[in-house]
Structure 1
Amino acid sequence: MMSQISNALSDFFFEYETPRQVLVRNRRVGVVCRLIQLGVLAYIIGWVFIYEKGYQSTDTAVSSVFTKMKGVGYTNIEGRERVWDVADYVFPPQGDSSFVVMTNYIITEGQKMGKCPELQGKHNCSSHADCEGGSFKRTGHGQMTGVCLNATKTCEVLAWCPVEDDVKIPDPPMLMSAVNYTLFIKNSVTFPLFGVSRSNLVENIDNAYISKCLYDPTDAPLCPIFRLGDIVKLSGFKFETIARVGGAIGIVVDWTCNLDVDVKHCIPKYTFHGLYGNAAETDQARASVGYNFRYAKHYLEDKEQKRTLLKVFGIRFDIIVQSLARKFDIIPTLTAIGSGVGIFGVATVVCDLVLLYLLPKREFYKNMKFKYTDSHVQDPDSEACSTETEVCKVRDLYISITLKPICLVFRTADVLFICYSCRSDVGATF
């Protein structure tokens, strides 16, 4: 028992098994095999390593953004001059990564709480029965009192009076001067996996440079100061169109960095996209084009509460930071190589299918590739041979002979030599 266990362990630790291979000289199969292997090699080198950078590990950044607007606007409405500064036209004023710059507005001044007629087209009526007291309409300005006013043929409402008339949007926009406003973006990113921190105020960008630079995709691609007119133009829109009814523009700060080279080459790239529609479409082609909201300033006049209501049309800016850093790592490199080597097996599978099922000599190739055995138990003294190198066992004697197709056998009991052909129809004994 111990001897059997010892032999089993010895066979397990000190023997190596390798699959039998058949060399097939066939031009078509050889060409197919090499083409598949060439394609796999091109995929591994071209796609996995060069394009996808399969030899590098990746990380995304933790980012922070703050902004600052500068510029002054001027309006003159019916002889009433007004200067608009940053505190008036930026919402919210905290310098967030998402904010609105007012470019047009409708102002309703001196509103106070009371009863007044609704606008034409909102609550039209012909009798008091058409104005249900205490009810509201979604598009109305207040609560109906149940009275139909003959002068306007509209329902009377309890609301901030006079009600806002926003039917006619000013054209041209009231604050066309916004085209020359400037936006300063300060952005910092950190790649925690690699311990790298960067800012869009990269090397050679100091106070002297910032005080005079203006972003240009060709001449000044790293300047963090942007003119609003240039942003709108680079996003594909006309400033006059988007300023009238408002819109939304995304400013993308792209940090795609290869940290295998000097970190100073890790710099941002800025792109601009219109977010509310297609620049080629007209206002009639889409529903609810533009961006607007209402903003009220409350005050007391003769101890009576009043307010100034503004319907603000503006450009909403969303600053979007996207990041991806790469650096060499041995683990993804070995993983990519291992998967590539495994894909090479596709060539063997395809060629085997061609050999065994498509070629005219498929039965011959099948006999060469597979060795068939009978299920019955052979006599211990019987000899089995093949067309290649065979090992013939006669009791305790093993002889390995590479003669083809003859296998030479020694019988030790009666010292008889047997020359037996591996073909079943040929044999001789002497």
Structure 2
Amino acid sequence: MKSQITNAITDFFFEYETPRQVLVRNRRVGVVCRLIQLGVLAYIIGWVFIYEKGYQSTDTAVSSVFTKMKGVGYTEVNGVERVWDVADYVFPPQGDSSFVVMTNYIITEGQSMGKCPELKGKHNCSSDADCEGGSFKRTGHGQMTGVCVNTTKTCEVLAWCPVENDHNIPDPPLLMSAENYTLFIKNSVTFPLFGVARSNLVEGIDAAYISKCLHDPKDAPLCPIFRLGDIVKESGFNFETIAQVGGAIGIVVDWTCNFDVDVKHCKPKYNFHGLYGNPAETDKARASVGYNFRYAKHYFDDNVQKRTLLKVFGIRFDIIVQSLARKFDIIPTLTAIGSGVGIFGVATVVCDLMMLYLLPKREFYKNMKFKHTDTHQQDPDSEAGSIETDGSKVRDSHSLLFQIKEYKQFASTFLKADPSIHLFLVQK
């Protein structure tokens, strides 16, 4: 028992098993095998390493965005002249990455809390019975008092009076001068995995350059100052159309960097996308076209609280930072190579299926690929069973009998084989 355990441990540590290999000279199988291997090799080199950069690790950036608008607008409505600066036409004024620039508006001045008739079409009436006191209408301006105003044939409401009339949107837009406003974008990014921090004010972008540059996709692609008219044009909109009813535009700051080269080559690219608006005149048939909101400025006049209400139509700008940095890393490289080597096994599986199930001489190939052994049972009453032999002699006799039988099987099969097929048997 002890010797058997010792032999088993010795065999485990000091013996090496290798699979049996059969070399088949067959053009069809050989061509299919090489084509599959060539396809796998092209996939590994072309897709995994060149296109997907499988030899690099990746990281995304933590970013912050600061914006600043500059420009002055001028309007003349009903003989009233007015100049609009940044504090008037940018909402919110803090310089966030998402903001609205007013391009058109409807103003209702001198509103105070009181009772006045609704607009026509909001809640028409023929008698007081049509106006339920204390109730509200979703599209109305206030609470109904229960009185039908005969002069307008609309219900009286408790609201900010006079109520706003927004049926007629100014055309052309009142602030067409917004086309020449400029937007300054300051963006900083940090890639924590690689310990790299960058700003869109890259090398060569200094105060002197910023004071005179204007972004152009070809001539000045790194200039961080943008003209609103150019942004709208690059996003696919017509400025006058989108300025009348408003819309939304996305400014994408793309940081795609390869840190296997010098960090100074990591520079941003700017792209502009129309997110929502009225890019074609046919869109007027759609519901809720454009972008607008209301803004009120409150004040006191003779101790009476009043307000100026503006329905603002504007372009909403959303600055979106997208990033992807890459750098060589041995771990993803070895992973990509290992997975590619594993895929090479597909060629073996496909060729084995062809050889064993599709080719005319498949039975012959099966005999060469698979070796079958019979289970021999020893008679316990035989003379051999009563003779004690050491383990090495038993193994030697079994090995000799096995080799003789295998030789006979191989010789018998080889004589039946096609002479054009050469078989090489590699055995431990």
| TM-score after normalising by structure 2 | 0.90
Residue pairs, 1:340-351, within 5 angstroms: 340-351=340-351
Deviation, 1:374, is 2.5
| 1:178-226 Cα deviation digits (max 9, x unpaired) | 0000000000000000000000000000000000000000000000000
* 2:111/2:161 contact within 8 Å kept: yes
Residue type of the alignment partner of 2:291: Y
Residue type of the alignment partner of 2:179: V
Question: Closer, same or farther in 2 for the Cα pair 1:120/1:278, shift >3 Å?
Answer: closer
SS at match of 2:203: coil
Deviation, 1:365, is 1.0
Residue type of the alignment partner of 1:272: F
Partner of 1:186: 186
Partner of 1:124: 124
Question: Closer, same or farther in 2 for the Cα pair 1:74/1:51, shift >3 Å?
Answer: same
Deviation, 1:394, is 5.6
| 1:68-114 Cα deviation digits (max 9, x unpaired) | 00000000112211100000000000000000000000000000000
Partner of 2:329: 329
Partner of 2:172: 172
Deviation, 1:288, is 1.0
Write the distance in 1 (CA, Å) between the matches of 2:21 and 2:396: 27
| TM-score after normalising by structure 1 | 0.89
Deviation, 1:377, is 2.9
CA RMSD in angstroms, aligned pairs only: 2.4
Which structure shows the higher helix fraction?
A: 2
Deviation, 1:378, is 6.7
Write the distance in 1 (CA, Å) between the matches of 2:54 and 2:154: 70
Partner of 1:414: none
Partner of 2:371: 371
Write the distance in 1 (CA, Å) between the matches of 2:72 and 2:317: 18
Partner of 1:58: 58
* 2:241/2:279 contact within 8 Å kept: no
Write the distance in 1 (CA, Å) between the matches of 2:218 and 2:399: 85
Partner of 1:160: 160
Write the distance in 2 (CA, Å) between the matches of 1:281 and 1:79: 30
Partner of 2:80: 80
* 1:246/1:314 contact within 8 Å kept: yes
Deviation, 1:7, is 1.2
Residue type of the alignment partner of 1:143: Q
Higher relative contact order (CA 8 A, sep 6+): 2
| 1:354-394 Cα deviation digits (max 9, x unpaired) | 11111111111111111122244378999xxxxxxxxx966
* 1:381/1:395 contact within 8 Å kept: no
Deviation, 1:400, is 10
Write the distance in 2 (CA, Å) between the matches of 1:77 and 1:167: 17
| Aligned pair partner of 2:397 in 395, 398, 404 | 395
Residue segments in structure 1 that go unaligned for 5+ positions in a row: 383-391, 408-420
* 1:381/1:394 contact within 8 Å kept: no
Write the distance in 2 (CA, Å) between the matches of 1:340 and 1:137: 67
* 1:297/1:309 contact within 8 Å kept: yes
Deviation, 1:290, is 0.5
Count residues in correspondence: 403
Residue segments in structure 2 that go unaligned for 5+ positions in a row: 385-393, 416-428
Residue type of the alignment partner of 2:377: V
Write the distance in 2 (CA, Å) between the matches of 1:324 and 1:269: 12
Residue type of the alignment partner of 1:337: I
SS at match of 1:335: helix
Write the distance in 2 (CA, Å) between the matches of 1:396 and 1:290: 90
Which structure shows the higher strand fraction?
A: 1
Write the distance in 2 (CA, Å) between the matches of 1:404 and 1:347: 29
Residue type of the alignment partner of 1:316: R
Deviation, 1:283, is 2.5
* 2:241/2:278 contact within 8 Å kept: no
